[in-house]
Amino acid sequence: MITFREIDRKNFFDVIKLSVSEEQNTFVATNLFSIAQAKAYPECICLAIYHDDILVGFTMYCIDIDDNEYWIYRLMIDAKFQSKGYGKAAMEKLIDLIKKDKKHQVIYLSFEPENDVAKHLYEKLGFEADGRVIEGEIVYRLKY
Ligand SMILES: CC(C)(COP(=O)(O)OP(=O)(O)OC[C@H]1O[C@@H](n2cnc3c(N)ncnc32)[C@H](O)[C@@H]1OP(=O)(O)O)[C@@H](O)C(=O)NCCC(=O)NCCS
């Protein structure tokens, strides 16, 4: 089962060791960068993704200061745990968590145009293009 845990002194060093494959490096920032970013942008919520008791990935989301909407800024599954359904399960869990906030009705995210796996995954979850490209990344949204 997929669960989320906060990042704290117990898992910090393991979370920053998680990595994607070399070809995927341009698709997502390192977890070290994201956790540092969240210190400066305290609206960002970082979560470690576990499959049972095994740390498999990382995600970061927020209510963006500029548009006051939910954005999933990061999602990564460590290379050795990919293609086992964990990314999809983590996204479903995160979407459910965000959906509890009835004050909002949409979730945004963006991805590099070459990132076919991410595109496929997000479309499968019901996301659709909202027409924007920000810093070269395609913006998708899910209305809930
Ligand atoms: C994108 C990512 C989070 C997906 O996580 P994952 O655990 O590997 O994906 P899942 O096993 O849940 O699979 C999700 C879907 O993608 C497909 N998929 C997974 N790996 C694939 C691969 N290497 N090639 C083609 N399709 C793949 C699965 O078949 C599944 O589709 P389906 O439900 O139609 O069968 C993961 O690949 C990753 O961390 N990539 C690098 C970082 C990144 O790109 N993050 C997203 C930035 S926007």
Segment 66-98, tens digit of pLDDT: 999 999 999 999 999 999 999 999 999 999 999
Pairing between strand 128-134 and 137-143?
A: antiparallel
From 18, 60, 83, give the residue whose CB has the most ligand 1 atoms within 8 Å, as the site to mutate. Answer: 83
Given a contact cutoff of 8 angstroms between Cβ atoms, the answer to whether 36 and 91 are in contact is no
**CB of 28 closer than 6 A to ligand 1?**
yes
Report which of 97, 28, 32 is spatially closest to residue 62, judged by C-alpha positions.
Answer: 97
CA dihedral 138, 32, 3, 70 (to 10 degrees): -40
**CB of 18 closer than 6 A to ligand 1?**
no
For the question of whether the overall pTM of this predicted structure is more than 0.85, the answer is yes
* Residue-range domain boundaries for the chain: 2-143
Given a contact cutoff of 8 angstroms between Cβ atoms, the answer to whether 64 and 71 are in contact is yes
Given a contact cutoff of 8 angstroms between Cβ atoms, the answer to whether 107 and 98 are in contact is yes
Q: What is the CATH number of domain 2-143?
A: 3.40.630.30
Alpha helices by DSSP H, the chain: 12-17, 31-40, 86-99, 116-124
Q: How far apart are CA 141 and CA 129, in angstroms?
A: 6
**CB of 121 closer than 6 A to ligand 1?**
yes
**CB of 77 closer than 6 A to ligand 1?**
yes
Q: What is the pLDDT along the chain (144 residues), one digit of tens a residue?
A: 999 999 999 999 999 999 999 999 999 999 999 999 999 999 999 999 999 999 999 999 999 999 999 999 999 999 999 999 999 999 999 999 999 999 999 999 999 999 999 999 999 999 999 999 999 999 999 999
